């Protein structure tokens, strides 16, 4: 408890590579939830002990594949009702995962627990520069209220420049049906 400021948490975590369960790395973090104002994202400071795996090859393969598509990529329901994600859509799924992490961070309080539930819709947006741009409609599952919240997010990605969420907005509940 920090008077007049908020609540600070010290965390020791182990990060596990979703694509390689045996690959782990230790991490320490400090999270400060601000008092009162619900519109400020918590402050996060972190240190990763060691190095994250190099993914250049897979990144470039995905980048080139998308760049060479004749028609802009469009897809929906990832995973589908039965939990399936086709191999071609797996990177799209992972990209949404990362981008939703940003959205979740920006909207988290001590009383929320968000998970990405599903990509309802994703559409590639053609760009003249080197970036890939995707317009996502995702569903976030909030554990405490159990609500499923549709959320729009515009995601930019480049193998060397990483992920950026340039726009995001919460949607009204029936927007996804």
Partner 1 sequence: QLDFWLSPRGPGYPVDVRVPFPSLQPLKAHLEANGISYSIMIEDVQALVDHERTEMLRSRRRLPLSTNTFDYAAYHSLDEIYTFMDLLVAENPNLVSKLEIGRSTENRPLYVLKFSKGGTNRPAIWIDTGIHSREWVTQASGVWFAKKILLDHEKDEGLASILDTMDIFLEIVTNPDGFVFTQTQNRMWRKTRSTHSGSTCIGVDPNRNWDANFGGPGASRNPCSETYHGPYANSEPEVKAIVDFVNNHGNIKAFVSIHSYSQLLLYPYGYTRTPVPDQKELHQISEKAVAALSSLYGTNYKYGSIITTIYQASGGTIDWTYNQGIKYSFTFELRDTGRYGFLLPAKQIVPTAQETWLALKVIMLHARDHPY
Considering CB under 8 A, how many residues would be counted as binding partner 1? 21
**Which residues make Cβ contacts (< 8 Å) with residue 59, sequence separation at least 6?**
159
Tokens of 151: 């959320």
Is residue 20 a contact point for partner 1 (CB under 8 A)? no
Please state the closest distance from residue 16 (CB atom) to partner 1, in A: 11
* DSSP per position, 10-51: EEEEEEEETTEEEEEEEEEEEEEEESS-TTSPPEEEEEEES-
Binding map of partner 1 across residues 23-62, x = CB under 8 A, - = no contact: ----------------------------------------
Please state the closest distance from residue 73 (CB atom) to partner 1, in A: 18
Is residue 103 a contact point for partner 1 (CB under 8 A)? no
Q: Segment 136-175, which members bind partner 1 (CB under 8 A)?
A: 139, 141, 143-148, 173
């Amino acid at each position: 408890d920090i008077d007049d400021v908020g609540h600070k948490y010290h965390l020791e975590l182990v990060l596990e590579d979703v694509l390689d369960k045996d690959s782990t790395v230790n991490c320490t973090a400090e999270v400060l939830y601000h008092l009162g104002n619900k519109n400020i994202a918590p402050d996060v400071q972190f240190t990763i002990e060691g190095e994250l795996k190099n993914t250049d090859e897979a990144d470039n393969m995905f980048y080139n594949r998308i760049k060479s598509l004749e028609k802009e990529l469009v897809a929906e329901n990832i995973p589908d009702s039965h939990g399936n994600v086709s191999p071609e859509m797996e990177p799209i799924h992972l990209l949404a995962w990362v981008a939703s992490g940003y959205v979740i961070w920006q909207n988290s309080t001590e009383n929320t627990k968000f998970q990405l539930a599903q990509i309802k819709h994703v559409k590639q947006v053609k760009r003249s520069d080197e970036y890939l741009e995707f317009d996502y409609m995702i569903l976030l599952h909030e554990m405490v209220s159990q609500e499923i919240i549709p959320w729009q997010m515009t995601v930019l990605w480049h193998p060397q420049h990483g992920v950026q969420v340039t726009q995001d907005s919460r949607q009204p509940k029936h927007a996804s049906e």
